[in-house]
Structure 1
Amino acid sequence: MRKAEQGMDPNVDYLRQLGYEARDVSLNALGKWLIALGVFIGGTALVTYGIFKLFVAPVVPGAEQRPGITVPLPPPPAPNPALQPSPRLDLRKWREEEDEAMNSYGWVDRKKGIVRIPVDRAMDLIAQKGLPTK
Structure 2
Amino acid sequence: MPNDDMGKRTLPQPPEVSDRPILIIVGGFLIFVGIAIAGLLLFVTREAPGALGPRVERQFPQPALQTLPQNDLAHFEASQRSALSGYAWVDRDRGVARIPIDEAMRMITARGEHAYDPLQPSSPSPAGARGGSP
| TM-score bucket (shorter structure) | 0.3 to 0.5
TM (normalized to structure 2)? 0.39
> Which structure has the greater CA radius of gyration?
2
